[in-house]
A and B are shown apart, each in its own frame.
Chain A
Amino acid sequence: MLQLNINGALYDIDVDPATPLLWVIRDYAGLTGTKYGCGMALCGACTVHLDGAPIRSCVTPAAAAVGHSITTIEGINQGLDGLHPVQQAWIDEQVPQCGYCQSGQIMSAVALLERNSTPTDVDIDTAMSGNICRCGTYPRIRKGIKRAAMAINALAEDAVTDG
């Protein structure tokens, strides 16, 4: 029995500890927003956060997540009033097409902006090149990240002003 903290909720899951976190999240916790794409950490569709850092859940054993906090796309706006700025930017730029890769794209983008709120194009290339999109939404993802960065920085400035 493994106990996992996913989006702040505790799940007791009876599963082989070697099972990749991806399948535990999808098939045992029932959170299907995280996607299977390759099973080899090559495409990024399965990206979730482990203590805030982006990981490929398809190659991460569930046991490795015990004692850590896991965040999936379903929990990315927890504690926020409404959508995460990255999600809002994805709507504003009309980023998704088929949408299958977008959970992973958003998780990678959120992680990027949390450590770098003014990413350059090179920063975006570095942070996002692990996430494949077959619909070719890359130009809109790039715009979405820049738009979200502006929104996040504006919020931060407001916070400073208010403070």
Chain B
Amino acid sequence: MARLHRRAFIRMGIATSGVLVFGAAIRRGDRAASVKSLVATDNESLFDAWLKISPDNTVTAIIPHAEMGQGVHTSLAMMLADELDADWASVTMQEAPAHSEYANYALARGYTLGDTDFPAWLVDSVNGFYFQATRIAGIQITGGSLSVRSTGQIAMRTIGAAARCVLLQAAADQMQVPVGELVATDSVITHPATARTATYAELAPAAATMNLPDKPTLKDSAAFRIMGTSPPRIDVPAKIDGSAKFGIDAVLPNMKYAAIRAAPVFGGKVLSVDESSIQDMPGVRKVISLGNAVAVVADGYWQARQALLQLKIEFGDDGNGCDQSGIFEKFARDMDRTASTNSEKVDFLSGNASRALTRAETTVTAEYRVPFLAHATMEPMNCTAWVHDGKCELWLGCQDPLRFARKTARAIGFDSDDVIVHNQYLGGGFGRRWQSDFAEQAAHIAAQVHYPVKLIWSREEDTQHDHYRQACISRFQGGLDGDGNATAWQNHYVNKHEPKRATRIPYAIENQRIVHTVSKTQVPWGIWRSVDHSLHAFFTESFIDEMAEAAGRDSYEYRRNLLADAPRFQAVLDLAARKAGWGSQMPKNFGRGISIHQSFGTIVSQVAEVEIRDGDPRVHRVVCAVDAGFAIHPDGLIAQMESGIAYGLTAALHGEISIRGGAVEQSNFHDYPMLRMNEAPTIETHIINSGKSLGGAGEPGTPPIAPAVTNAIFNATGIRIRELPILKQSLSLRRA
């Protein structure tokens, strides 16, 4: 179990959702009584663990999830409030308690497991389920990803609908009328025939004593009043006046600060530390070696950092001295070897691609490369840890508090229940804050002192000790018949992670062979916004453009024809092309490129307009069309598209982590540059509510942007970018 990836948890969560999810929302037994003291005052009425109604008719959604900018606090409250028929103006949210004897996530987990006897193998998937609600909640804002369907769509909506049922029953009892004659609107129940009304607050004390129905009827989307609108996000006001508390803002009495430096080479060890080199430095409390890293604890962070910079440390590289060129050579060698023996691992086969290639009138061949990428969250990794009274308390922002508690407990030899995670706002996640390495370090340090310690990674540490988006080579052969129609698609790439279908194309090409080769590196891998989709969309959407070019066809029309049997894709593609003015005249040195890709259940098509100025590309405008099934919070979906595009465009234009002597060469924003205001394009997002299954939003905006831009560069210059980052290729553009 422990070896399963995050997404595997999710998948299991989905597979069992029918049981799990309703279990999550409505549990037998008096759960409300056991948690009431933690979340509600005496005169408030608590419905299960998720909802309370106050005497002033305020409805509070109790949300055991963290906010990282996707709007989970807002969207989950919306889903609950809509089913409850609550007045949105008097709806608020609170996070489940963090400073009580139960950490909020432990509460949630305990709640989910409740009195149900889950088999042990399911426990991790339950944890994954909560992880989902936290991390993908952005997705929820905009429609819910596959498993957020579980958390928001089912848990929050179910409790809202169930509470509405008992409030109606309480009104029926009070007014002595049938439930069917009552109408619930804006937190008030009315009996129209007699013009009597009762507020939810008046009814709540009686309603809260009733048994909540297990499976209340949820609204049809036509009846939504709050879902599908874009109320202002609840977390925004605290983020414009400095009051929002991120992990790095935790302050505890008598707290000290730690700076840390890990062995630069992956897998390296600390050989020696010369503490005398900093013995006169002010404020230094303690030097702690963690085996593969050294921390300095001091009264102030700056003191700790200065001492660390001066501290003489000898690191060993443990023989892991690989270089960037060596990594790509190894990829190529391993691919050649498996290809020559037909021993690649198969992702997908249909028809007979090799025969179709032999018979093809024209064949197209291309090889693409992408580098390693770091996440570069704006808030560097940090964690405040305090080990006291047999407990370890952590203050940090993370994407999976339960996993952090478990991993940290294991690292320092504690029981999981004795590690309490106080999750704060996340200053960016993008997958990085799923890895618990920094929390484990902080716990190790705190275990050796008698005061709380705030560990802050420098930007340099953050850049050089990430868990990286993989580097990759992907090779293609395409076959066209005499009319230019695509008959064969062969794709061989290196190293597969998740999601498993990231390499699949939506196009009706009869003969396909998609395979991969495993070629290990010492560079730690991690989930990075959209995971494998971030690379494969670049590969596949570049290559289909190359096939269109070989066929002498327009790249939009070529895709469109291949999507004749995929109307949902075709509608998204058409919308993007139409809104972008596809086919209209462009100024000199401008080009237009299109792409389409499905990930996390959402289809996104983008058209990029690029100008080549002095040999460098400038992306002026991106038109984005998205079908996420239904947009719960349309402005949130738009914001996530904008965000995904900026994240993917940063990587496409600039992103490269390279390895020399087994260590990362880049260290800060001067050599690992980010998209800035002067490079940010205008983005126009257009939403299709197809009514299909809800898809994600936080990630699907990222994959299509790189190929949209490189296809536009080709359109402008005739130069095909087959290796990212684009700006590394700018010299060839200058020659053009």
Tell me the A residues contacting B by CB distance below 8 Å.
15-16, 19-20, 23, 27-28, 30-40, 42-43, 45, 72-74, 76-77, 83, 87, 90-91, 94-103, 106, 124-126, 128-142
In the complex, chain A residues whose CB is within 8 Å of the CB of B251: 30, 32
> In the complex, which of the residues A74, A76, A91, A136 contacts B645, with contact meaning CB atoms closer than 8 Å?
A136
In the complex, chain B residues whose CB is within 8 Å of the CB of A99: 69, 235-236, 238-239, 244, 246, 425, 427
Query: Chain B nearest CB: distance from A65 CB in Å?
Result: 15
Q: Are A40 and B244 in contact (CB under 8 A)?
A: no
Q: Are A23 and B302 in contact (CB under 8 A)?
A: yes
A32-B245, A96-B235, A131-B676 known, 14 other contacts, Cβ within 8 Å:
A32-B248, A35-B378, A39-B459, A40-B459, A42-B670, A87-B241, A90-B236, A94-B635, A96-B236, A99-B425, A134-B377, A134-B428, A136-B647, A141-B677
Is B242 part of the binding interface, using a Cβ–Cβ cutoff of 8 Å? yes
Is B70 part of the binding interface, using a Cβ–Cβ cutoff of 8 Å? yes
Is B301 part of the binding interface, using a Cβ–Cβ cutoff of 8 Å? yes
- Please measure, in the bound complex, the distance between the C-alpha atom of A96 and the C-alpha atom of B236, giving whole angstroms: 6
Q: Are A137 and B643 in contact (CB under 8 A)?
A: yes
Is B569 part of the binding interface, using a Cβ–Cβ cutoff of 8 Å? no
Q: Are A96 and B643 in contact (CB under 8 A)?
A: no
Mostly, the B contact residues are loop
Query: Chain A nearest CB: distance from B447 CB in Å?
Result: 23
In the complex, chain B residues whose CB is within 8 Å of the CB of A77: 241
Q: Please report which residues of chain B, range 12-64, place their CB below 8 angstroms from some CB of chain A when the two chains form the complex.
A: none
The list of the 10 closest CB pairs from A to B, nearest first, reads A33-B242, A136-B646, A100-B427, A99-B239, A97-B69, A98-B69, A138-B680, A73-B242, A42-B669, A125-B678
> In the complex, which of the residues B232, B248, B459, B643 contacts A91, with contact meaning CB atoms closer than 8 Å?
B232
Nearest residue in B to A144 (C-beta to C-beta)? B240
Is B430 part of the binding interface, using a Cβ–Cβ cutoff of 8 Å? yes
In the complex, chain B residues whose CB is within 8 Å of the CB of A90: 236, 240
Nearest residue in A to B680 (C-beta to C-beta)? A138
Subset of 10 A-B contacts with CB under 8 Å: A16-B303, A36-B248, A95-B236, A97-B639, A98-B378, A99-B246, A125-B677, A135-B646, A136-B644, A142-B680
> In the complex, which of the residues A37, A124, A126 contacts B378, with contact meaning CB atoms closer than 8 Å?
A37
**A-B residue pair count with CB separations less than 8 angstroms:** 181
Q: Are A38 and B459 in contact (CB under 8 A)?
A: yes
Is B394 part of the binding interface, using a Cβ–Cβ cutoff of 8 Å? no
In the complex, chain A residues whose CB is within 8 Å of the CB of B644: 136
In the complex, chain B residues whose CB is within 8 Å of the CB of A101: 378
Q: Are B668 and A91 in contact (CB under 8 A)?
A: no
In the complex, chain B residues whose CB is within 8 Å of the CB of A106: 240
> In the complex, which of the residues A74, A102, A139 contacts B239, with contact meaning CB atoms closer than 8 Å?
A102
Nearest residue in B to A75 (C-beta to C-beta)? B242
Nearest residue in B to A99 (C-beta to C-beta)? B239
Query: Chain B nearest CB: distance from A128 CB in Å?
Result: 4
Q: Are B643 and A97 in contact (CB under 8 A)?
A: yes
> In the complex, which of the residues B237, B242, B428 contacts A98, with contact meaning CB atoms closer than 8 Å?
B428
In the complex, chain A residues whose CB is within 8 Å of the CB of B233: 94
Count chain A CB atoms within 10 A of each CB in B235, B426, B430, B669 and give the residue with the most.
Answer: B669
Nearest residue in A to B674 (C-beta to C-beta)? A132
Is B683 part of the binding interface, using a Cβ–Cβ cutoff of 8 Å? yes
Q: Are B236 and A23 in contact (CB under 8 A)?
A: no
In the complex, chain A residues whose CB is within 8 Å of the CB of B550: none
- Please measure, in the bound complex, the distance between the C-alpha atom of A87 and the C-alpha atom of B428, giving whole angstroms: 21
- Please measure, in the bound complex, the distance between the C-alpha atom of A74 and the C-alpha atom of B241, giving whole angstroms: 6
Q: Please report which residues of chain B, range 416-437, place their CB below 8 angstroms from some CB of chain A when the two chains form the complex.
A: 425-430
Count chain A CB atoms within 10 A of each CB in B238, B244, B456 and give the residue with the most.
Answer: B244
Q: Are B249 and A32 in contact (CB under 8 A)?
A: yes
Q: Are B237 and A91 in contact (CB under 8 A)?
A: yes
- Please measure, in the bound complex, the distance between the C-alpha atom of A32 and the C-alpha atom of B241, giving whole angstroms: 11
Is B625 part of the binding interface, using a Cβ–Cβ cutoff of 8 Å? no
Query: Chain A nearest CB: distance from B397 CB in Å?
Result: 9
Is B243 part of the binding interface, using a Cβ–Cβ cutoff of 8 Å? yes
Is B114 part of the binding interface, using a Cβ–Cβ cutoff of 8 Å? no
In the complex, chain B residues whose CB is within 8 Å of the CB of A91: 232, 236-237, 240
In the complex, chain B residues whose CB is within 8 Å of the CB of A45: 378
Q: How many residues of chain B get a CB closer than 8 Å to chain A's CBs?
A: 60
Q: Are A136 and B242 in contact (CB under 8 A)?
A: no
Q: Are B376 and A139 in contact (CB under 8 A)?
A: no
Q: Please report which residues of chain B, range 222-260, place their CB below 8 angstroms from some CB of chain A when the two chains form the complex.
A: 232-233, 235-246, 248-249, 251, 257
- Please measure, in the bound complex, the distance between the C-alpha atom of A142 and the C-alpha atom of B679, giving whole angstroms: 12
Q: Are B378 and A134 in contact (CB under 8 A)?
A: yes
- Please measure, in the bound complex, the distance between the C-alpha atom of A32 and the C-alpha atom of B233, giving whole angstroms: 22
Say whether, besides A16-B282, A97-B70, A106-B240, A139 and B380 are in contact (CB < 8 Å).
no
Nearest residue in A to B282 (C-beta to C-beta)? A16
> In the complex, which of the residues A35, A87, A98, A137 contacts B426, with contact meaning CB atoms closer than 8 Å?
A98
Is B661 part of the binding interface, using a Cβ–Cβ cutoff of 8 Å? no
Q: Are B427 and A35 in contact (CB under 8 A)?
A: yes
Q: Are A140 and B669 in contact (CB under 8 A)?
A: no
In the complex, chain A residues whose CB is within 8 Å of the CB of B379: 35, 37, 98, 100
> In the complex, which of the residues B238, B241, B458, B643 contacts A135, with contact meaning CB atoms closer than 8 Å?
B643
> Hey, what's the 0/1 contact readout for B626-656 against A, CB within 8 Å counting as 1?
0000000001000100111111001000000
Q: Are A96 and B69 in contact (CB under 8 A)?
A: yes
Say whether, besides A100-B427, A100-B428, A139-B642, A72 and B242 are in contact (CB < 8 Å).
yes
In the complex, chain B residues whose CB is within 8 Å of the CB of A97: 68-70, 639, 643
Count chain A CB atoms within 10 A of each CB in B235, B251, B642 and give the residue with the most.
Answer: B642
Q: Are A96 and B459 in contact (CB under 8 A)?
A: no
Nearest residue in A to B375 (C-beta to C-beta)? A134
Is B175 part of the binding interface, using a Cβ–Cβ cutoff of 8 Å? no
Is B675 part of the binding interface, using a Cβ–Cβ cutoff of 8 Å? yes
Q: Are B680 and A136 in contact (CB under 8 A)?
A: yes
- Please measure, in the bound complex, the distance between the C-alpha atom of A39 and the C-alpha atom of B462, giving whole angstroms: 12
Is B682 part of the binding interface, using a Cβ–Cβ cutoff of 8 Å? yes
In the complex, chain B residues whose CB is within 8 Å of the CB of A40: 459, 668-670
Is B300 part of the binding interface, using a Cβ–Cβ cutoff of 8 Å? yes
In the complex, chain B residues whose CB is within 8 Å of the CB of A132: 378, 669, 674, 676
- Please measure, in the bound complex, the distance between the C-alpha atom of A30 and the C-alpha atom of B428, giving whole angstroms: 23
Query: Chain A nearest CB: distance from B594 CB in Å?
Result: 21
- Please measure, in the bound complex, the distance between the C-alpha atom of A142 and the C-alpha atom of B642, giving whole angstroms: 13
In the complex, chain A residues whose CB is within 8 Å of the CB of B676: 128-132, 138
Query: Chain A nearest CB: distance from B167 CB in Å?
Result: 32
Say whether, besides A39-B459, A101-B378, A134-B376, A19 and B302 are in contact (CB < 8 Å).
yes
Query: Chain A nearest CB: distance from B377 CB in Å?
Result: 6
Query: Chain A nearest CB: distance from B257 CB in Å?
Result: 7
Q: Are B647 and A134 in contact (CB under 8 A)?
A: yes
- Please measure, in the bound complex, the distance between the C-alpha atom of A125 and the C-alpha atom of B618, giving whole angstroms: 14
Nearest residue in A to B299 (C-beta to C-beta)? A27
Count chain B CB atoms within 10 A of each CB in A15, A30, A39, A99 and give the residue with the most.
Answer: A99
In the complex, chain B residues whose CB is within 8 Å of the CB of A39: 458-459, 668
Q: Are A94 and B639 in contact (CB under 8 A)?
A: yes
- Please measure, in the bound complex, the distance between the C-alpha atom of A133 and the C-alpha atom of B235, giving whole angstroms: 17
- Please measure, in the bound complex, the distance between the C-alpha atom of A103 and the C-alpha atom of B248, giving whole angstroms: 14
Nearest residue in A to B249 (C-beta to C-beta)? A32
Query: Chain B nearest CB: distance from A101 CB in Å?
Result: 5
- Please measure, in the bound complex, the distance between the C-alpha atom of A96 and the C-alpha atom of B670, giving whole angstroms: 24
- Please measure, in the bound complex, the distance between the C-alpha atom of A132 and the C-alpha atom of B378, giving whole angstroms: 8
